Chain A
Amino acid sequence: MSKKKILIPKGLIFLVLEDTLTMREAVVNQLKKMGFSGQIFEAEKLAEAKDIIKNEKIEFIISDWNLPDGTGYDFLIEIRANPKYSKVPFLMVTTENGIKEVIDAIKEGASNYLIKPWEEVSFIEKLLYAWEKHQD
């Protein structure tokens, strides 16, 4: 891996879809720690997330797999079917048990995946990869 400099706008608008407060806070804090200063929308349910993407222009999505009213996979399918969001980076967060399903998510256009509990290094790495992937 070459040490290519990846430029990522600080003002990116994020959507963090995660039902447990602690995990959601961990993601948001990590983003802030990385220096992102744009708006970070938070959702704990699929329905909320759908509302947000309808009304806002989200530039980066981080979504958990298991949600109270559906799965992150459902969200991914919907997002990719929407022309407005077909190229937006989508980072799928899952647990060790959900690893088999991740393959489907990648096939359906998830930019990359992250296994809980994640470490800061891999969070940053996967986030940058997801961003770069859609910058052609």
Chain B
Amino acid sequence: MDKIENLFDEFLDPVIITSYDKQVIYANNAFQILFQTTIRKLKKTPIEEYLHFKESKVFLNKAQSLSENNTNTQIETKFKTSDNIEGTVLVISKYLGDNQVITFLRDMALEVNLHGKYHAELAENEKLIDQLKAAKKKLEIYNKNLEKIVEKRTSDLRKANQYLKTMANSIGQALLMFDINGNCLPIYTKTVVNFFGKEPVNTTITDLLPLSSVEQKTFQDWCQITFQGLIPFKDTLSLSLKEIVVKDRNKDKDLIINLEYFPVKNSKSELTNIVLVGTDITNEVDSKKKLDSQNSYVTMILKIIKNKDSFVTSFKEARHFLNLAFDLLEKINEQKPRNDLLRHLHSVKGICSLYEIKDITTYIHKIEQSINKAQETFEYAFPPDLKSEFIKKIKHTQDIVLSFCEEISPIVGDAILTNSPTKEVKKDDIDFFHKKLNEHNTDLAQQFQRQFKSVPLNYYFKGYELLLSNLAKKLGKKIKPFQIIGGEISIPDDKFKDVFNVVIHLFRNSIDHGIEQPDERIQLGKDPEGQISLEATHLKNTFTLNISDDGSGVNINKLKNSAEKLGISTAKMSREDILRLIFNPKLTTIDKVTEISGQGIGMSAVEEVVKENSGKIDVYSSPKNGTTFTIELPL
């Protein structure tokens, strides 16, 4: 028995052993706890007095135990103790033998409680599920809205991107992006295709740009140090490829593209991509070249002017060396050392570069190079075809040099065109020497004056050519180049300066009133281009200037009418006298018809200046054949 009791002591469910007379023999701890009693209490009285079951068959009596010996009947029954403890238990009793019955009980309240608890949990869970469902629904709605918002944003962005793209495309700059491996990203402007001939798709930047293999290597190396961040990005810029020349396929000319680089960094501020911006700077480069060449031309002129004397001397020397080179080349044979040829050319180049005469310097440099190259191949004389090529080139250099002399002679004087060396002398010194000479020998003094104190007429009148042709153009007339006959005649310095200055008004008058409009001249059977000329003659002690035009001649009738209006009677006047009326101050004032003739002084003023110089002026005119003014001046 002891063993059985011990066995049930630790049972979680209540267990009780009773006798047929319902006396309690054993009750385990769980029993005592459930019914809130003690074994001692239980043993005092029969169990039925303490514990009442709704079902009576719980604790078996002898008859029950015998008849239902082998049945396994579970009974669920409510109970109530004498201490008013209530509950429900599941009961099963078994006959143990020896008039004893064992009863197992299970507290159903616990089951019910548990069930309730699970149910509550379940309900809680369902509630949660409902909440989740609601949340999900909300989320779906939100998502739908979000989609709409995103759609809207995306379309806005797309519009903005489109706008940016259009803008980027229209500014004519190439814009593209490449990554750490040099691969181009699908972000670029149309201009990229225009510049580089293809789309930057599935290509590396070094394949896209027209680079030689050496340049490719340099570019890749640059990418390497830049992406590795070996030096700050801004420091890599001066090492980058800054310019590239591409073919403009539309115009078949070269374009110069300026390249700029901008870093794209990630959130860790590591360089991930580089944006390349290409700009067509061809025009800027061209205009800069033009400006540079203008600047160097000005530098050249200034250098020449500052060192006028030494320039003339040096340049003559240069021409001399050029001639030497030419002669040498013609005579070249096995015996003549050819090194002299290069030496002479080098001297010419040296002098020209000293004065920054770029065109000649560059040209000679090219000849030097080709001669040098030929000398590597041919030890002695050049083959005939090469020789004649060099002769042609040196001859061409002589031509360039000569035309340069002509171009520069107005600045440095005609001396550069002659072969003898020149020297500049102060005018005061000449005057002083002339005076001294005159004291001793008048003949020699006169000779001296003619030689050193005179200037040719051309000096005064050559410059009028442009002025006259511009004037004619302004009046819609055409004239042939201004003709000067006897321009070489020397006139003592400053002697008739006033007269020469006033003669311009006669030229103006000729163009304005004399020369007809081209169509009018054609109708008259004349050359559409009029001719204005100056003829100078030198006779003994007089000096004559004839200023002629082949225009319409002076209108005698008009002159007469003008004179009559002023109260001058022309009835008894000869034709010559009437013509001479144009020098009348009153008449010339009236005749200031057009802006051109009226601009300066009238014919009367011209006559006045001539008279001041002890000379006289005359006019000859025949209708349709033109007018000639004759000025006679004493020497």
Chain A bound to chain B: yes
Q: Give A residues with C-beta under 8 Å from B.
A: 99-100, 102-104, 106-107, 111-113, 115, 126, 129
CB pair A106 B225 closer than 8 Å = yes
Which of B221, B232, B235 meets A107, CB within 8 Å? B221
Other than A107-B224, A129-B235, give 16 A-B pairs with Cβ distance below 8 A.
A99-B239, A100-B239, A102-B239, A103-B218, A103-B221, A103-B222, A103-B239, A106-B230, A106-B231, A107-B221, A107-B225, A112-B231, A113-B231, A113-B235, A113-B239, A129-B231
6 A-B contacts, Cβ less than 8 Å apart?
A99-B239, A103-B225, A104-B221, A112-B235, A113-B231, A113-B235
Q: Provided the pairs A106-B230, A106-B231, A129-B232 are in contact, do residues A115 and B238 lie with their beta carbons within 8 angstroms?
A: yes
- Distance, CA A102 to CA B224, complexed state (A): 13
Name the B residues within 8 Å of A103 (CB-CB): 218, 221-222, 225, 239
Which residue from chain B places its CB closest to the CB of A130 in the assembled complex?
B231
CB pair A99 B235 closer than 8 Å = no
Which residue from chain B places its CB closest to the CB of A99 in the assembled complex?
B239
Name the B residues within 8 Å of A129 (CB-CB): 231-232, 235
Which residue from chain A places its CB closest to the CB of B220 in the assembled complex?
A103
Which residue from chain A places its CB closest to the CB of B223 in the assembled complex?
A103
Name the A residues within 8 Å of B225 (CB-CB): 103, 106-107
- Distance, CA A58 to CA B218, complexed state (A): 32
Name the B residues within 8 Å of A111 (CB-CB): 231
Question: Nearest chain A CB to B340's CB is how many angstroms away?
Answer: 35
Name the B residues within 8 Å of A112 (CB-CB): 231, 235
Name the B residues within 8 Å of A106 (CB-CB): 225, 230-231, 239
Interface of B is mostly: helix
Question: Nearest chain B CB to A127's CB is how many angstroms away?
Answer: 13
Please classify how large the interface on chain B is, using the bins under 10, 10 to 19, 20 to 34, 35 or more: 10 to 19
Name the B residues within 8 Å of A113 (CB-CB): 231, 235, 239
How many cross-chain pairs have Cβ atoms below 8 Å apart between A and B? 30
Which residue from chain A places its CB closest to the CB of B232 in the assembled complex?
A129
- Point out which of A106, A111, A129 has the most chain B C-beta atoms below 10 A from its C-beta: A106
Name the B residues within 8 Å of A104 (CB-CB): 221
Query: C-beta contact mask, B226-241 vs A, less than 8 Å → 1, else 0?
Result: 0000111001001100
Which residue from chain A places its CB closest to the CB of B231 in the assembled complex?
A112
Which residue from chain A places its CB closest to the CB of B219 in the assembled complex?
A103
CB pair A100 B231 closer than 8 Å = no
- Point out which of A99, A102, A115, A126 has the most chain B C-beta atoms below 10 A from its C-beta: A102
- Which residues of B from 168 to 227 have beta carbons under 8 Å from A? 218, 221-222, 224-225
CB pair A100 B218 closer than 8 Å = yes
Name the A residues within 8 Å of B231 (CB-CB): 106, 111-113, 129
Question: Nearest chain B CB to A112's CB is how many angstroms away?
Answer: 5
Name the B residues within 8 Å of A126 (CB-CB): 235
Which residue from chain A places its CB closest to the CB of B214 in the assembled complex?
A100
Question: Nearest chain B CB to A128's CB is how many angstroms away?
Answer: 11
- Distance, CA A126 to CA B224, complexed state (A): 20
- Distance, CA A28 to CA B239, complexed state (A): 26
Name the A residues within 8 Å of B238 (CB-CB): 99, 115
Closest 9 CB pairs of A and B: A106-B225, A103-B221, A112-B231, A106-B230, A103-B239, A103-B222, A102-B239, A106-B231, A99-B239
Name the A residues within 8 Å of B222 (CB-CB): 103
- Point out which of B221, B235, B238 has the most chain A C-beta atoms below 10 A from its C-beta: B235
Question: Nearest chain A CB to B243's CB is how many angstroms away?
Answer: 13
Name the A residues within 8 Å of B218 (CB-CB): 100, 103
Name the B residues within 8 Å of A115 (CB-CB): 238
Name the A residues within 8 Å of B221 (CB-CB): 103-104, 107
- Distance, CA A111 to CA B239, complexed state (A): 15
- Distance, CA A106 to CA B222, complexed state (A): 9
Which residue from chain A places its CB closest to the CB of B225 in the assembled complex?
A106
Question: Nearest chain B CB to A92's CB is how many angstroms away?
Answer: 10
Which residue from chain A places its CB closest to the CB of B242 in the assembled complex?
A99
- Distance, CA A129 to CA B234, complexed state (A): 12
- Distance, CA A99 to CA B235, complexed state (A): 11
- Point out which of A102, A103, A111 has the most chain B C-beta atoms below 10 A from its C-beta: A103
- Distance, CA A40 to CA B238, complexed state (A): 29
Question: Nearest chain B CB to A117's CB is how many angstroms away?
Answer: 14
Name the A residues within 8 Å of B239 (CB-CB): 99-100, 102-103, 106, 113
- Distance, CA A113 to CA B239, complexed state (A): 10
Name the B residues within 8 Å of A102 (CB-CB): 239
Question: Nearest chain A CB to B344's CB is how many angstroms away?
Answer: 32
- Distance, CA A57 to CA B137, complexed state (A): 75
Which residue from chain B places its CB closest to the CB of A112 in the assembled complex?
B231
- Which residues of B from 226 to 264 have beta carbons under 8 Å from A? 230-232, 235, 238-239
Name the B residues within 8 Å of A99 (CB-CB): 238-239
- Distance, CA A129 to CA B229, complexed state (A): 12
- Which residues of B from 282 to 313 have beta carbons under 8 Å from A? none
Which residue from chain A places its CB closest to the CB of B235 in the assembled complex?
A112
- Distance, CA A115 to CA B232, complexed state (A): 15
- Distance, CA A104 to CA B230, complexed state (A): 12
- Distance, CA A100 to CA B221, complexed state (A): 10
Question: Nearest chain A CB to B226's CB is how many angstroms away?
Answer: 9
- Distance, CA A106 to CA B226, complexed state (A): 10
- Distance, CA A102 to CA B231, complexed state (A): 11
Question: Nearest chain A CB to B129's CB is how many angstroms away?
Answer: 54
Question: Nearest chain B CB to A99's CB is how many angstroms away?
Answer: 6
Query: C-beta contact mask, B61-81 vs A, less than 8 Å → 1, else 0?
Result: 000000000000000000000
Question: Nearest chain B CB to A131's CB is how many angstroms away?
Answer: 13
Name the A residues within 8 Å of B224 (CB-CB): 107
Question: Nearest chain A CB to B230's CB is how many angstroms away?
Answer: 5
